[in-house]
A and B are shown apart, each in its own frame.
Chain A
Amino acid sequence: MTTTESASLEDGRLGRIAVIRLRPNEDLVGGIEAACREHGLRHAVVRSAVGSLVDAVLEAGGQTVSVSGPGIEILTLGGEVRSDADGLPLAELRGTIADSAAQVYGGRFRRDENPICITLELVLQEWLPA
């Protein structure tokens, strides 16, 4: 790890690939964190995700954006999982969604407020710090 006043550089490489499904009513953020905890995945990046939400709550520009479903489509999902000092995986996820009227929203997904509707198909790739 190299840390300067303005940046931090972590050497590492991409490792194993986790093929994940979350079933209905699992929280998007908490469910991904739980899957990582259950399978010993400490650090990871999102490679692809396709799914839907019952309702959605995003943070964007200092605002909280609440969108009512069901059947909200997750259009894009990006971000990473990092474990804290106690080894607890924390997911930082941002993305775009569309509601039934095809209105598009974007932002950071809040924990415990984004229940899966039908499914989440997710591929994470492990990040292995040197």
Chain B
Amino acid sequence: MRTLVQPGAPLQPRRLLEWAAPTPDLRVTLAAGQDLLLGLVAALAARSVSHAAVQVLSADIARMAYLTGQPDRSGERVATYGAPTWLEGPVTLLGGNGILGPGPDGDTLLHCHAVMVDAAGRLHGGHLPPGDCLLAAGGAAALVTPLREAAFAAAFDSETNYPLFQPRRL
């Protein structure tokens, strides 16, 4: 198994775990004409949910972008994102996972990766940037597990030189 040397010194512990309390789940549906990620953030904010685990169950997409990882030639980090790939609809989202929490600037952020199939039947997948996934007529559905007592919050990670979601007691 190949391992990489990160730009910063290794931090301990290597595995972090905090316990959150069991809570009822939420099933969220979004109507067409809005952004998938921003729509989920706004819908959950209306129920005062700002920390959650998200499973995107379905989405019909009119136009979207996604990012994939690649080596960072600058040496500042071991990997970075490449240029966005744009897809014109109809695009069908097959599945996606997300983590909702306060981002580096304090605004609620949904970190989401997903797998999709395009109008020609080709598979795609990657990181979804907020604001670049316009929902089509079918809208979207997600199963959301709100996190209470412990959750993720973004903080600068000196080992990887990225702001990253870290488990935190609330």
Chain A residues in contact with chain B, CB under 8 A? 14-27, 31, 34-35, 38-39, 47-50, 52, 54-55, 69-77, 96-102, 104, 112-115, 117-119, 121, 123, 125
Contacts and interface: CB of A to CB of B under 8 A. Distances in A.
Closest 3 CB pairs of A and B: A71-B69, A71-B79, A48-B53
Given A14-B22, A102-B85, A20 B167 contact: yes
Interface in B86-129: 94-99, 111-115, 123-127
Contact of B165 (A21, A97, A102, A117): A21
Contacts of A97: 125
A130 to B, nearest CB: 16
Contact of B1 (A73, A113, A121): A113
A118 B79 contact: yes
Given A14-B22, A19-B151, A52-B79, 8 more contacts: A22-B14, A25-B3, A27-B1, A35-B17, A48-B99, A119-B162, A121-B99, A125-B145
A125 B115 CA distance: 23
Contacts, number: 194
Interface stretch (B4-12, B26-34, B130-138): B4-12
Given A23-B15, A24-B4, A47-B53, A17 B164 contact: no
B78 interface: yes
Contacts of B4: 24-25, 54, 70, 115, 117
A23 B11 contact: yes
